[in-house]
Amino acid sequence: MSWHVDEPILDLYASGTLGDPAVYSVEAHLVTCTRCRGELSTRVDESRLDRIWVGVRDRVDAPRAGIVERLLVQAGIPSHVVRLLMTTPSLRPSWVVSVAVSLAFAVLADRLVGAGALPFLVLAPLVPVVGIAAAFARPIDPVWEIGAATPLGGFRLTMIRAAAVLVLSVALAGVAALGLPEPGWTLVAWLLPSLGLTGLTLALSTTSAGMPNVAGAVAATWSVGVVLAEWLADQRLAAFDARGQVLLALIAVASIVVVVARRDAFERRVGA
């Protein structure tokens, strides 16, 4: 390249006082000439360029927020809480999909076979139980030891994740319930049992039994209990009547008390 822009012209161009035809000439040239671009750089305010770069670098480094993350932030949840949730195993799409499918099946069973919403009502409260078991199973969280030494790790993180799983499960079940053939109280009859079973699972996990065992025990007891109640009382969906709801509500409240009192058990879960 034999022709280069004269320095006085570059000065004028950089300061915005160069006239039009010359501007075109310079700009067309700059696209192809490294040397003149470099010359121009020396005439631009470096701190301005640095400031712009910091903005670029921040957005390049920052963890990329997926769609779900952005939606949750829009919904008003603080962005740092959302980031914590993003590492909860049971909030992964695969789990959400399998839960949605199971619930859909239960609803379908009801519509096709006319089982009177029993499959759905038994299944829906178990969804958060399974979700929490998956979220807490220690081998699944490789970062547990680092997390255990942090202020939020341990009890508080556990509760944040449990709450997220519960909310998501309730939301999924709520949507699925709309598909039940006989709407009415069955739309919400599973809600208190959800809370009760979730609380019970958390409370029992403070014992030395281990989360998977506890979750399994709760699931089994619930399923058997529902069937048993129906058979004993000789009434459909006996477990979900007023007495049943009250009982489960009491279990939920008692569980909360136990969980808070035994919060130590959620920390320092280092294996023997």
Binding segment for another protein (CB under 8 A), chosen from 60-68, 92-100, 181-189, 220-228, is 60-68
> What is the widest separation between alpha-carbon atoms in the chain?
100
Annotate each residue in 70-99 with x if it binds another protein (CB under 8 A) or - if it does not, as one string. --------xxx--xx--x------------
- Of 103, 257, 244, nearest in space to 236 by CA: 244
Identity of the residue, 145 or 182, whose beta carbon is nearer to another protein in the bound complex:
145
Tell me how many residues contact another protein (CB under 8 A): 72
Which residues 7-26 are close enough to bind another protein by CB under 8 A? 8-9, 12-14, 16-25
Binding segment for another protein (CB under 8 A), chosen from 137-145, 184-192, 207-215, 248-256, is 137-145
Helix (H, G, I), strand (E, B) or coil at 150: coil
Are 122 and 223 in contact by the 8 Å Cβ rule? The answer is: yes
Identity of the residue, 44 or 242, whose beta carbon is nearer to another protein in the bound complex:
44
Identity of the residue, 150 or 223, whose beta carbon is nearer to another protein in the bound complex:
150
Which residues 156-185 are close enough to bind another protein by CB under 8 A? 157
As a three-state string, the secondary structure of 156-194 is HHHHHHHHHHHHHHHHHHHHHHCCCCCCCHHHCCCHHHH
CB-neighbour burial class of residue 61 (10 A; exposed 0-12, middle 13-18, buried 19+): exposed
